[in-house]
């Protein structure tokens, strides 16, 4: 895996890259990625995988300058443009999927196809999603909320020997804050109003054990877009399917992207 940094408007953002072939971008989900994960290895077996960090998530700063959703969409566009060489397929998980949808609706030529895993961006009072931020303080809440295999989340967030304890904690808090900045309080970006512009082929994936995003939200999205959209539920996975079921997820994606 190679690591580099791209910059825009005074913000530095980490970009990881591995593999060869057609480029595919992966935007990590809730709290971002502090470490490379096995799912990315699987994806990189067939493609050039590019993993940029969005502001405030591990590997990038600058979230506190972004106030409105439009600020976030522009920042995501900047990072995608800087990290890639042109139109790409885009995979985005959880909170990042909300921004992937906005970018795809705003800048159609840049995004060829979309894979969204447990996407945020919608809220339905009739099928309310739980509050991802009203959680008990301390390390115990999130693993079980986000993963069907909590130990995978705990492993992802186990402190490396060379990391300072307080800074490691702050990276986690900051990752939650960054998403809250554009999704507080309900996780609804208003994407359904703009969904008529989503003409790209789209694969919507949800872990069958996802505690955060109700299945009906994927149905709503599918119904709202004019392009082809398929929904796939992956058995045994929680919200962060990339941690819980990397093989099944990579298989579905490879099949979709061809």
Partner 1 sequence: MKNLWFHLMPYKELPDEFREEHPSVWVNIDSRLFDPERAHVMYNEFMDELEYAAEVGFDGICVNEHHSNGYGMMPSPNLIASTLARRTSDAALCVMGNSLALYNPPVRVAEEFAMLDCISGGRLIAGFPVGSPMDTAFAYGQNPSMLRDRYYEAHDLVMKAWQEEDTFSFNGRFNKLRYVNVWPRPVQKPHPPIWIPGGGSIETWRWCAELDYVYSYLSYFGYKLGLKTMQGFWEEMDKLGKDRNPYRAGFLQFVGVAETHEEALALYKEPAEYFYGRCLHVSPTFVQPPGYTTEATIRARVQSQIVAAATKERSKQHSGGGFGGGATTWEEIVEAGYVIVGTPDEVAERIKEVCTNLNVGNLMLLLQFGNMDHDLTKYNTKLYAEQVLPQVRDLFSEWENRWWPRPMASEARHAPSEVA
The residues of the shown chain that bind partner 1, judged by CB under 8 A, are 63-64, 67, 131, 133-137, 166, 169-170, 173-174, 176-181, 184-185
Give the residue with the Cβ less far from partner 1, 21 or 139.
Answer: 139
Could you tell me the two tokens for 101?
Answer: 């949808």
Beta strands in the chain (DSSP E): 2-8, 11-18, 23-27, 48-52, 88-93, 111-117, 202-207, 229-234
Decide: 115 and 91 in contact? Cβ < 8 Å: yes
Contacts of 36 (CB under 8 A, 6+ apart): 1, 16
Minimum Å distance from CB 170 to partner 1?
5
CB of 138 to partner 1, least distance (A): 9
Identify which of residues 135 and 255 has a Cβ nearer to partner 1 in the complex: 135
CB of 184 to partner 1, least distance (A): 4
Is the CB of 176 or the CB of 206 nearer to partner 1?
Answer: 176
Close Cβ partners of 70 (under 8 Å, ≥ 6 residues apart): none
Q: How far is the CB of 127 from partner 1 (least distance, A)?
A: 19
Name the nearest CA neighbour of 116 among 141, 85, 91: 91
Between 61 and 224, name the residue whose CB sits nearer to partner 1: 61
């Amino acid at each position: 895996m190679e690591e580099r940094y791209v910059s825009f408007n005074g913000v530095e953002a980490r970009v990881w890259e591995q593999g060869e072939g057609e480029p595919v971008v992966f935007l990590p989900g809730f709290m971002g990625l502090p470490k490379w994960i096995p799912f990315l290895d699987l994806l990189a077996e067939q493609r050039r995988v590019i993993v940029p960090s969005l502001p405030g998530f591990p590997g990038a700063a600058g979230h506190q300058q972004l106030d409105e959703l439009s600020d976030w969409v522009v920042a995501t566009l900047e990072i995608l443009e800087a990290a890639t060489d042109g139109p790409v397929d885009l995979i985005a998980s959880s909170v990042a999927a909300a921004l992937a949808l906005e970018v795809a609706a705003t800048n159609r030529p840049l995004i060829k196809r979309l894979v969204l895993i447990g996407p945020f961006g919608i809220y339905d009072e009739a099928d309310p999603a739980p509050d991802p931020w009203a959680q008990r303080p301390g390390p115990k809440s999130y693993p079980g909320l986000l993963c069907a295999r909590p130990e995978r989340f705990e492993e992802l967030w186990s402190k490396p020997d060379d990391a300072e304890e307080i800074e490691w904690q702050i990276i986690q808090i900051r990752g939650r804050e960054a998403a809250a900045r554009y999704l507080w309080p309900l996780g609804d970006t208003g994407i359904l109003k703009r969904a008529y512009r989503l003409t790209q082929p789209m694969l919507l994936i949800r872990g069958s054990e996802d505690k955060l995003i109700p299945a009906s939200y994927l149905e709503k999205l599918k119904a709202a877009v004019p392009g082809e959209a398929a929904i796939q539920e992956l058995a045994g996975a929680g919200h962060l399917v990339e941690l819980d079921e990397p093989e099944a997820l990579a298989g579905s994606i490879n099949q979709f992207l061809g």
